[in-house]
Amino acid sequence: MKISIITVVWNNINTINDTINSVLSQNYKNIEYIVIDGGSTDGTLSLLNSKRDQLSILVSESDEGIYHAMNKGIELAKGDVIGFLNSDDFYFNNEVISKVAREFNNDPFLEAHYADLLYVDQINTSKVIRYFKSSKFQQGLFLKGWCPPHPTFFVHKSIYKKFGNFNLNYNLASDVDIMMRFLEKYKIKSLYTPEIWVKMRMGGVSNKNLKNIWLQNMEILNSFSKNGLKVNPIVFFFYKIISRLKQYIKKEIK
């Protein structure tokens, strides 16, 4: 089974090397690694070109934002399963993709597989800020502010063909929208593995300030409506705040 991993990047010279190395060091070798660069000017493109022989596909051109770039990657992907790893993120260890492939191979009806994520300090990536612990999906969870951590979310390519790519009408919440669409609306078969797969540096676009957090949540509420899902905003925000607070409680990391 071929696994396609897509990284989109624009001017992120300080962290992109960690991202790339975490993919290249995976002990599962049937990986198609696609990097979509938005026309970086800070040295990122030079670094990518120095590793071109180790990348399956490298595209560098202007785009209309992160989700447009992700859609480019989906269209180029030849793998059976597709996952995304942001340019601030890296895999927790070198066995993540092997575990993903094993579960998809074991269950021919499996359509999505996800796990947990750690938010870490931008400089000291050993310092854990938040533990994003997910759970097994049940219908209605998105209406309570739940969603899986997108960098751990691997989906069979046939699902994108059947139900569509990222919605470019959303600038901050298209990842939540697409996972909601696949799981909540179309009820694809998913599997949750209760272990850490990804470390994400704090400071991403969607949560870098209160304005973006508010705008992202407004997009999510709009997405409910567009997908025909009735949500109570009070319930949504109550459960979402509780779930975020729980992420700051220290847990044992294995």
Can you give the residue ranges of every domain in the chain? 3-247
| pLDDT at position 157 | 97
| pLDDT at position 204 | 65
pTM of the model: 0.93
Cα distances (Å, whole numbers) of residue 51 to 46, 93, 246: 9, 21, 39
Spans of the chain, pLDDT less than 70 = 204-209, 250-254
User: What is the dihedral angle through the alpha carbons of 191, 194, 195, 200, rounded to the nearest 10 degrees?
Assistant: 80
Tokens representing 59 are 């595209």
| pLDDT at position 169 | 95
| pLDDT at position 152 | 98
| pLDDT at position 31 | 98
Do 3 and 70 contact (CB within 8 A), yes or no?
Answer: no
Type of residue found at 38: G
CATH of domain 3-247: 3.90.550.10
In which residue are the tokens 């300090």 written? 121
Tokens representing 101 are 């492939």
| pLDDT at position 254 | 56
CA 204-139-192 angle, to 5 degrees, is 60
